[in-house]
Amino acid sequence: MLLLGVLAGASPALCEDVTLEGLRDSYEEASNALRLRGRDISAKRVGTISRAVGHASLKARERRLACLRVSNEADGKRLAVAMDGGRVLIRTNKRGRKTAKGYHTYVADWREPKLFIIYELDAEGRKMRKGLERCDGTIGGPEDITRLLVAELRAMGAQDAKSITFLGDGAK
């Protein structure tokens, strides 16, 4: 079934809808939005499908990184590399009985997602509209984002670029 794109018992179209709606503040909100669009899916099911899509995406990225071939896409081009981090609250339900109101207690930990984008610059140093562009990110540590960035730069043949400008906000 995986070859057909079925994840957690959901079709590719349903996975796409759930993933887009799952970007809301909660799975309950996503479930309500899907219900308004004619898809009656519980918040628990939204979470299950979202996690399955996430795991499949990470596996696909690892397979892609394992077989990247060096190209000459960046040959003679001006590139910009921008990196930044953010903050996201990861909520994890505690095991055990629910409270009197019917909710599980939870632990909320702050994590820092790290993102990068590589894009092509024109002669004036502005981002080209339809130029070369790659982006990725991770919630892992600095080693993880560095590994992803280096793999992308190697794959596009950045060693042959005319210039590479690294942009940052001055963080460590």
What is the DSSP-derived secondary structure letter of residue 77? -
Which of 111, 154, 160, 162 is closest to 134 using CA atoms? 154
Cα separation, 156 vs 154, whole angstroms: 6
pLDDT tens-digit map of 86-130: 888 887 778 877 777 777 778 888 889 999 999 999 999 999 999
pLDDT tens-digit map of 55-88: 999 999 999 888 888 899 999 999 999 999 888 8
Q: pTM above 0.85?
A: no
Q: What angle do CA 172, 143, 171 make, to 5 degrees?
A: 10
pLDDT band with cut points at 50, 70 and 90 for residue 2: low
First to last CA, the chain: 45
The first and second tokens of residue 30, run together, are 């996503």
